[in-house]
Structure 1
Amino acid sequence: MVFLDFSLAWWVYPLLFLCALFAGTMDTLAGGGGLITVPVLMSLGWTPQDALGTNKFQASFGSGSATLHFARAGAIAWRDVAWGIIFTAAGAALGAWAVGMLPVEFLKRLIPVLLIAMAVYFMVTPNLGLHEKAPRLNSFPFHLIFGLGIGFYDGFFGPGTGSFWTLCYVALLGLDLRRATVRTKVMNFVSNIVSLAVFLFIAHIHVIPGLVMAAGQFWGGRIGAKLVLHRGSRLIRPVFVSVALVIAVKLLYDAYIR
């Protein structure tokens, strides 16, 4: 449901734009944009469903902008991601539909542990993602398992989705970090759009704040995509590890301390 909200103070909108600009850039590089934007939207006093729905609205512009930039640069092999798009869309729809119906406490406690494990895995394997390797899974079973699983997670909860996709593409399909990041952003865009469609029926989408953040996300996505294409794996790697650890610490705090 679309909600035209003009109740925020004028100075909030520039802050929302800057927040989304930074989140869109970081999300394209390593994931974790939702770690920035969701708490900001929650601080506005909205319900969790409204905050998540508006977050999907604005995040769709960031992932869409990055995907468009990658496509124009010829970096996306659409045949290679077709099954991923289909299964991710299905998983995201189920995840978004489940919001408010299932407890999130288990995920809140499990996800930070997985993120820390991912960061440690990258740190102890210094060449991981710098060069392509032979895949451990074929494309169809890979996208069936992780498209449904990560798509569901993104629709239902979200933080760390991009990091999970990137690690899976590197570790199981043997991609380098540059190609893995490109494919990750396609999957992020699919899950964002599908989740948004579901949220339109179960929550309010605050359009005015969402559009302000969408502008920031759009330019952040472009900046991040250019950095990925021009700087490649050696830039993505340290950013990926840092973002994964920051997300993990934040989620551990939320799950066990606050």
Structure 2
Amino acid sequence: MFELTLEMALLLIAAGFAAGFVDAIAGGGGLITLPVLMLAGVSPAQALATNKVQGAFGAATAAASYAARGQVDLRSQWRLALLAGLGGLAGAALVSHLPTEALRIVLPVILIGIAIFFAFKPGLDDLDRQRRMGATLFATVIVPLIGFYDGLVGPGAGSFYMIAFVTLAGYGVLKATAHTKLLNLFSNLGGLAMFALIGQPLWLIGVMMGVAQMAGAALGARLAVRIGSRLIKPLLVATSAILALRLIWQLI
């Protein structure tokens, strides 16, 4: 049975702050919090559910921070956010019915490809570029698909949203990061709604970590707006590579 000690509470709070900071800039905060929850002795199902609780705090804070700095109009994003939420709900509903082992094998390859792309692709900056996919197709296919992944697996979803905005929607790196956060929040909430029914999240732990996430996300968003792609790109490369290595380690 999970027992919360003072030392464990401090570890979880520190993990929440670090995850909020990283997630606000490059996504992948679940890479930090999910393993720490399981290390603390939380069962896998409860860890996934609790991770959604605390992740919602950080995503909401980052979305509000970017909006307050004029990087994204939240009112124009509500349709995309709703589709992301439905995707997250569907993914969480099917988490116990779909074979996720194949995804765990393919995902590290995708993440390594993302890291290589952003590390070596020239011309990736904060300037917008030509859109490669129509807005309707992007909204009805790509956004729900990533939301579905967020509900089904979770860690790395923010990075995938950001990559989609850059490579398909033609957004600059900072604009893509800002627009990612509202979608990440809603796919997180969609997953949480289902996990609240089937996964029994530890609400006290989730809220405690969530408050720390808010502080980390506010700091991360502030730095990202100030520094832009010069901060976002290296952190995205590092986050994708580390998440890939962690997934590979789990498979060995």
Normalized against structure 1, the TM-score is what?
A: 0.93
Query: Does the C-alpha gap of structure 1 residues 17 and 104 become closer, same or farther in structure 2, counting only changes over 3 Å?
Result: same
| Structure 1 match to 2:103 | 107
The 8 Å contact of residues 24 and 219 in structure 1, kept in 2 or not, is answered as yes
Matched, 1:202 2:198: yes
Amino acid at match of 2:49: G
Contact 1:83 / 1:144 at 8 angstroms: preserved in 2?
no
Query: 1:71 maps to what in 2?
Result: 67
Q: Distance in 1 between matches of 2:79 and 2:56?
A: 20
1:229–1:181 CA distance, 2 compared to 1 (3 A): same
Paired residue secondary structure (1:222): helix
Say which SS state the counterpart of residue 130 (structure 2) adopts.
coil
1:153 to 149, 154, 174: 149
Residue in structure 1 matching 2:230, options 209, 231, 234: 234
Offset of residue 123 of structure 1:
2.2
> Please, which of 129, 132, 136 is the counterpart of residue 128 of structure 2?
132
> In the alignment, does 2:37 pair up with 1:41?
yes
The 8 Å contact of residues 49 and 100 in structure 1, kept in 2 or not, is answered as: no
Q: CA deviation at 1:160?
A: 1.4
Per the TM alignment, residue 231 of structure 1 is displaced from its structure 2 partner at its CA by: 1.0
Pairwise CA distance, 1:144 = 1.1
In structure 1, the partner of 2:247 is 251
Deviations 1:139-188 (A, max 9, x none): 22112111111000000001211111111111111111100000111111
Contact 1:150–1:164 (8 Å) recurs in 2: yes
| Structure 1 residue aligned with 2:89 | 93
Name the CA distance, whole Å, in 1 between partners of 2:231 and 2:35.
27
1:108-150 deviation per Cα after TM superposition (whole angstroms, max 9, x unaligned): 1011100111111122212124421110112221121111110
The two structures have a TM-score, normalised by structure 2, of 0.95
How high is the sequence identity, in percent, across the aligned residues?
A: 37
Matches of 2:204 and 2:2, distance apart in 1: 7
Q: Secondary structure at the match of 1:133?
A: coil
Q: Is 1:221–2:222 an aligned residue pair?
A: no
Hey, what's the Cα distance between the residues in 2 that align with 1:172 and 1:6?
A: 43
The DSSP-based 3-state class of the residue aligned with 2:168 is: helix
Aligned twin of 2:183: 187
2:182 partner amino acid: V
State whether structure 2 residue 168 is matched by structure 1 residue 172.
Answer: yes
- From 24, 27, 31, the equivalent of 1:28 is 24
CA distance in 2, matches of 1:78, 1:139: 17
**Root-mean-square deviation (Å):** 1.5
The reply to whether residue 120 of structure 1 matches residue 116 of structure 2 is yes
The alpha-carbon deviation at position 44 of structure 1 amounts to 2.7
Gaps spanning 5+ residues in structure 2: where?
Answer: none
